[in-house]
Amino acid sequence: MFLTDYHIHTRLSPDGEDSMRDMIRASAKKGIKQICFTDHCDIIKWGTEELSRDAPYILPKTLEERSKIPPDDLRDIEVRVGVELGEAHFSLETAKEIAANPEADFILGSLHVLKGYGDFFLIKYESMEHCRMLLDAYLDTLLEIAALDFFDVMAHIGYPTRYMTRAGFPLSPELGHNGDKLEALLKLLIHNGRGIEINCSGIRDGYGPFPTMEILRFYRELGGEIITVGSDAHKIRDAGVYIAEGYEILRRTGFKYITTYKKRKAEFIKI
């Protein structure tokens, strides 16, 4: 099986712990055949809504690190380079500037921060009703991002689930409560030639995949074909973890191919 990991971090990310070389070695040991680094490239400073001056430099730094990898470390794994471009709705101009780099293989579009509420990691969750309101606002913002053209794949749909569950409110986007917005979001992504990812970090942490199997199946039923697989690893211990399980979930939800990218062009590999 040709295993790929299209969501992985190094110590270039604020919350990353290990070098690119160490993450490559760890991934290769787990049987990953192709990897795309997606270090955090957030438009705003963490914990604030202030624009970051560092964002335009993340991709060049990642490309520089890639150029230093010894050939011996690349015998069993192919390495591509991208970014996880977060919070683009705070500055479309900056997002477009970053995504215009011709050396980028792949751009993940992600959302961690709601305007006026902060990062989901920092929000104080008060009740199920409060969480439902935040999920509605989250999906509204994803719809706003889905209309933009700076990214290839939308990252970890259902991301707030991790923090709501930890706070005692096990809630995730679902067709029963959020069906209209989820359908609009997925249809917009499909129409615009964008994809989604199955983010396996939720499996690792006991929450299930992001998005849920229900949403994955619905995306496929709507005609969605573009899907990447990512560990969202930030340390060598998690590199490549649950990628094979992610492939199996895709099979069970109707997918026959996974997607990879080279210079922003989609390539399809049979599962």
Write the pLDDT tens digit of every residue in 19-48. 999 999 999 999 999 999 999 999 998 878
From the list 22, 121, 87, 266, the residue with the least C-alpha distance to 8 is 22
Map residue 98 onto helix, strand or coil.
helix
* Tens-digit pLDDT profile for residues 245-266: 999 999 999 999 999 999 999 9
- Rounded CA-CA distance 99/82 in Å is 9
Q: How confident is the model at residue 129 (pLDDT cuts 50, 70, 90)?
A: very high
* Residue 196, burial from CB neighbour count under 10 angstroms (0-12, 13-18, 19+): buried
Which among 190, 254, 177 has a CA at the least distance from the CA of 217?
A: 254
Q: By C-alpha distance, which of 143, 105, 137 is closest to 118?
A: 137
Token duo for residue 169: 């409110």
Read off the pLDDT of residues 84-99 as tens digits, 9 standing for 90 and up.
Answer: 999 999 999 999 999 9
Which helix or strand (DSSP H or E) is residue 217 part of?
helix 213-221
One of 3.30.420.10, 3.20.20.140, 3.40.50.1100, 3.20.20.450 is the CATH number of 3-270, namely 3.20.20.140
Of the candidates 255, 250, 265, 238, which has an alpha carbon nearest to the alpha carbon of residue 82? 265
- The β-bridge relationship of strands 118-119 and 113-114 is antiparallel
Question: Closest Cα to residue 225, out of 249, 258, 251?
Answer: 258
* The model's pTM: 0.96
Residue pair 194/151 in contact by the 8 Å Cβ criterion: yes
145-157: pLDDT as tens digits: 999 989 999 999 9
Contact of 181 with 218, CB cutoff 8 Å: no
Eight-state DSSP code of residue 193: T
